[in-house]
Chain A
C-alpha cells in the first residue's frame, strides 16, 4: 500500500524533501543550542525567558516533524504556561526574600 492510499486528506502544498531535511537539521541544532542556553544562563528570570523561547523552538521543531497536535500543546504549555508558573513562583520567593 502506498502512502497516497493511506492519507485521507491530501495537503494542498508540499515542501521539497531536500529543503525539509535542511529545515529539520537546522531546527534540531537550534533546539540543542536553546537547551544549552537554558542550562547555562544563571539568572533565574532570564532563564525563564530563555525557557519560553526554547518552548517556541521545540514547537516549530514538532511542526517540521509533522506533529501539529504536539506543536499546539508545546506552544501553550512550554512557551506560555510553564514560564508563567515559574515567574509567579519567582515573584513569591523574591517577596519573601526582602
Chain B
C-alpha cells in the first residue's frame, strides 16, 4: 500500500469519526445544564440521611459503596500484579544505591531538592491524614488522602534517601497495610450482612450534627480503610519501580 492510499483511508476514517462525534455532541445537554433527576435527589436528601456534608463521599462510600469496593480491588489487584511482575528474578542482583564505584549515572539530589523535601514531608503527612479522616465533612476522602500520604514517602525518596525510603516502607509491612485496608472495607460490608442487613448498610450511629467529624457512621470508617489501602498500594507500586532501577541483570554491567 502506498503512503497516498494510506492517507486516503486515514482521511475517510477521520471524516466518519468526526461526523459521528459531531452528531453525538448535538444530543448533549447544554453547557452547565443537568437534566437527570438523581443528582438533585442526592443533593436534597444526602445530608439529612447520612449526616455527611461531604456529599461526594456519601455517594462514594454509601449510595454507591458497592462500586467503590470494586474500584478499591482494582487498585489492590494492580499493585499485587505489579509486585508479581517486577519481582526479583534469578540472575538479578541489587546494587547498593550509595556505592560510589558503581556507574551510578544519577547525581546525588541537590541541596535545594533535599530542603524542599525536608520542609514538605511533615505537612504532607498531616495533609494526607486530614483528607483521609475528613471525607464526611469536606471535599476529600480516602483515595485523595491515601495518595497524598504516599507522596510523603516519595519525597523521602526524592531527597536521595533511597535506603531510608525502603526502611520506612518495608515491603512486608506495606503489603500487610494494603491488605488490611482492602479487607477492612469489604469486612465492614460483610459485618452488615452478618447482622441481617444489606451489604455495606450504614449501621453505625450517624451522630446528630451534619458535618461533625464523628458523624456519618460507616462513611468515615470506610474512608479510613480506603486511605490505608491507597497509600500502601501507591508506596508498593513506586517501591517496586525504585527497586527496578537498582536491579542489575546478569550480562548487564
A residues apposed to B, CB below 8 Å: 1, 5-9, 68-69, 72-73, 76-77, 80-81, 84-85, 88-89, 91-92, 94-96, 98
Contacts and interface: CB of A to CB of B under 8 A. Distances in A.
B209 interface: no
Given A9-B53, A72-B139, 7 more contacts: A6-B40, A73-B143, A76-B144, A76-B148, A81-B151, A84-B154, A85-B237
A77 B238 CA distance: 12
B210 interface: yes
B252 interface: yes
B244 interface: yes
A36 to B, nearest CB: 17
B245 interface: yes
B147 A81 contact: yes
B154 A72 contact: no
B53 A8 contact: yes
Nearest to A89: B241
B85 interface: no
A91 B56 CA distance: 38
A85 B241 CA distance: 7
A81 B242 contact: no
A91 B157 CA distance: 14
B234 interface: yes
B7 interface: no
A95 B245 contact: yes
11 contacts: A69-B139, A73-B144, A76-B151, A81-B234, A84-B154, A85-B241, A91-B106, A91-B245, A92-B241, A94-B105, A96-B249
Interface string B23-65: 0000000000000000010011001000001011000000000
B140 interface: yes
A68 B43 contact: no
A8 B144 CA distance: 23
A88 B147 contact: no
A1 B40 contact: yes
Interface string B111-153: 0000000000000000000010000000111011001101100
Contacts of B227: none
Nearest to A3: B43
A96 B252 contact: yes
A88 B148 contact: no
Contacts of B249: 96
Contacts of A73: 143-144, 147
A84 B245 CA distance: 13
B103 interface: yes
